[in-house]
Amino acid sequence: MPEETQRKRVLSLIQPTSVPTIGNYFGALRNWADMAEDYDCIYGVADLHALTVRPEPAALRRQTAEVMAMLLALRLRQGNNILFVQSHVAQHCQLAWVLNNYTQFGEAMRMTQFKEKSSSHADNINLGLFSYPTLMAADILIYQANYVPIGADQKQHLELARNIAERFNGLYGQVFTVPEPYIGKVGSRIMSLQEPAMKMSKSDPNPKGSVSLLDPPEQIIKKIKSAVTDSEACVRYADGKDGVNNLMAIYSCSTGKDFAAIEQEFAGQGYGSFKQAVAEALVEELCPFQEEYKRLLADKAYLEQVAHEGAEAAGRIAQRTTAKAMKKVGLWI
Ligand code: TYM
């Protein structure tokens, strides 16, 4: 990564909590790939964030390497781009601690994800879960990121990061770049196949609700065919047709066709042939990725080398921003 660059910088992370879904893919990862050519991109695995739900240690370690292999399989490490693992760059935690002091309790309390996760993990509402958004703000601000490609569910966290940056800059002068979210028009909120009013999630206990990026073709076809729709038997995008709208979004993301073209293509046909087409398009989209992923995962030494180089390159940028912020607030460094 050159020290001074004219190109805008992009940053985004994904948690290694389990195999990413097509929600993560269409909402975020695919946009990461689209931006990888035109920007200096820093992408990574948010393993520190995953600790908030206390994962099984061996699973966390394994999944971190697996997600790294997925990011490589998506060709996210081209040009000057950096791929790294969050915990390998210690400054994220240092800066997050500083930012905690510029974030109000009330602001953190308002985070929808905190409210949702507190109710789904009622036995473990820990401080990590509560301060999750300030660590996320540190992830972004530490790299002076201009754009952050995310799904709609992370928009509120991004807004908080912007507020923290503006507050800090207001007090101490220009320290952080104020980041902009990049949220795609279609696919920013892929819904569960079984409960289409809820977002598709890696942690959904119902395996039929989500398609993972590693599901084999037969399973993808089965899951799409059993997706909940409605009794109208008409492929059109409309309020109250959450299941069909969701399948249309998946089809649109996989084929590049817009909703009007999709309605026309399936006019007068029932959901059977529509679902078949959605499943086939999805299989076609994911197959090359799955092949490449398997090849990369088998090469552990290469994955370790990528993580090591990523940590060094990311660490150099992170160190500069952290030192600046620490000096500004009066720490003797
Ligand atoms: P995570 O790991 O839950 O999800 C990774 C990305 O996938 C998007 N996403 C979705 N998009 C569309 N439809 C869905 N059903 C869907 N589910 C997930 C998420 O919006 C996200 O962009 N806190 C973040 C990780 C993170 C981060 C960051 C992101 C940590 N630090 C700094 C950006 C910048 C998270 O839990 O994402």
Q: Which whole number is the average pLDDT over 180-188? A: 96
- Residue 114's pLDDT band (cuts 50, 70, 90): very high
Q: What Cα–Cα distance (Å) separates residue 78 from each residue in 32, 41, 145?
A: 12, 9, 18
- In a mutational test of the pocket of ligand 1, which residue from 42, 146, 154 has the highest number of ligand atoms less than 8 Å from its CB? 154
- In a mutational test of the pocket of ligand 1, which residue from 22, 24, 147, 156 has the highest number of ligand atoms less than 8 Å from its CB? 24
CATH of the domain spanning 9-186+299-328: 3.40.50.620
294-331 burial code (b ≥16 CB/10 A, e <16): eebbeeeeebeebbeebbebbbebbeebbeebbeeeee
Residue range 23-45, pLDDT digits in tens: 999 999 999 999 999 999 999 99
Least confidently predicted of 1-10, 128-137, 139-148, 174-183: 1-10
The model's pTM:
0.96
The per-residue pLDDT for 325 is: 98
Q: At what angle do helices 155-172 and 300-328 cross, to 10 degrees?
A: 40
Higher per-residue pLDDT: 326 or 79: 326
Are 9-186+299-328 and 207-293 the same fold in CATH? no
| 236 C-alpha to ligand 1 centroid (Å) | 28
| 314 C-alpha to ligand 1 centroid (Å) | 20
Q: Which whole number is the average pLDDT over 84-96? A: 98
Alpha-carbon span 321 to 9, nearest angstrom: 14
Q: Is 1.10.240.10 the CATH number for 207-293? A: yes
Least confidently predicted of 64-68, 76-80, 129-133, 248-252: 76-80
User: Residues with catalytic annotation?
Assistant: 117, 199, 202
| 154 C-alpha to ligand 1 centroid (Å) | 6
Q: Which whole number is the average pLDDT over 214-241? A: 97
In this structure, the residue with its CA closest to atom 24 of ligand 1 is 14
Q: Which whole number is the average pLDDT over 178-191? A: 97
Question: What does the domain layout of the chain look like in residue ranges?
Answer: 9-186+299-328, 207-293
The per-residue pLDDT for 1 is: 42
Alpha-carbon span 199 to 180, nearest angstrom: 23
Residue range 143-160, pLDDT digits in tens: 999 999 999 999 999 999
Residue in 199, 206, 202 with CA at minimum distance from that of residue 223: 206
Longest dimension (CA), the chain: 72
Question: What's phi and psi for 283, nearest 5 deg?
Answer: -60, -45
- Residue 203's pLDDT band (cuts 50, 70, 90): confident
The per-residue pLDDT for 2 is: 45
The per-residue pLDDT for 6 is: 74
The per-residue pLDDT for 99 is: 98
Q: Is the dihedral of CA 109, 112, 115, 117 positive or negative?
A: negative
The per-residue pLDDT for 202 is: 87
The per-residue pLDDT for 210 is: 97
Ligand 1: nearest atom to the Cα of 135: 31
Task: Please give the mean pLDDT across all residues of the chain.
Answer: 96
pLDDT at 257 over 90: yes
The per-residue pLDDT for 310 is: 98
Q: Which whole number is the average pLDDT over 219-242? A: 97
Q: Which whole number is the average pLDDT over 128-138? A: 98
The per-residue pLDDT for 201 is: 94
